Amino acid sequence: MLKLTPGRWASLGAFLAVACLAVWWVLWRPATATDLIGLFPDGEAPTLYLDVAGLRSSGVLDLLAGKAGAEEPEYRKFVEASGFDYRRDLDAVAMRVRSTDTLLILKGRFDAARLAAYAKSNGGRCTPDVCTVQGSSPERQISWIPMKRQMLGLAVAPDPLAVALLNSSPRRISRPLPESPVWLEVPGSQLHGGPGLPPGLSALLSSLDGADRALLTAGLDGIGFALELNATCPEPAKAKEIAGRLTQMTEMFRKLLARENQKPDPADLSGLLAGGEFAAEGLTVKGKWPLSKVLLTSMLGK
Low-confidence stretches of the chain (pLDDT < 70) are 1-30, 63-72, 74-75, 193-201, 220-224, 293-302
Q: Distance between CA atoms of 302 and 295, rounded to whole angstroms?
A: 10
Residue ranges per domain, the chain?
Answer: 31-165, 182-299
Smallest Cα–Cα separation from 127: which of 116, 111, 139, 115? 116
Enumerate residues 6+ apart whose C-beta is below 8 A from 228: 180, 216, 217, 218, 286, 287, 288, 289
Smallest Cα–Cα separation from 160: which of 179, 134, 181? 134
H/E run at residue 10? helix 6-27
Helix (H, G, I), strand (E, B), or coil: what is residue 229? strand
| Separation in Å, CA 22 to CA 38, 39, 150 | 20, 20, 19
pTM, entire model: 0.81
CB 181 within 8 A of CB 219: yes
CB 251 within 8 A of CB 187: no
Beta bridge pairs of residue 225: 220, 291
User: How many residues in total does the chain contain?
Assistant: 302
Q: Quote the DSSP letter at residue 190.
A: G
Helix (H, G, I), strand (E, B), or coil: what is residue 31? coil
Enumerate residues 6+ apart whose C-beta is below 8 A from 259: none
Identify residue 222 by its one-letter amino acid code: G
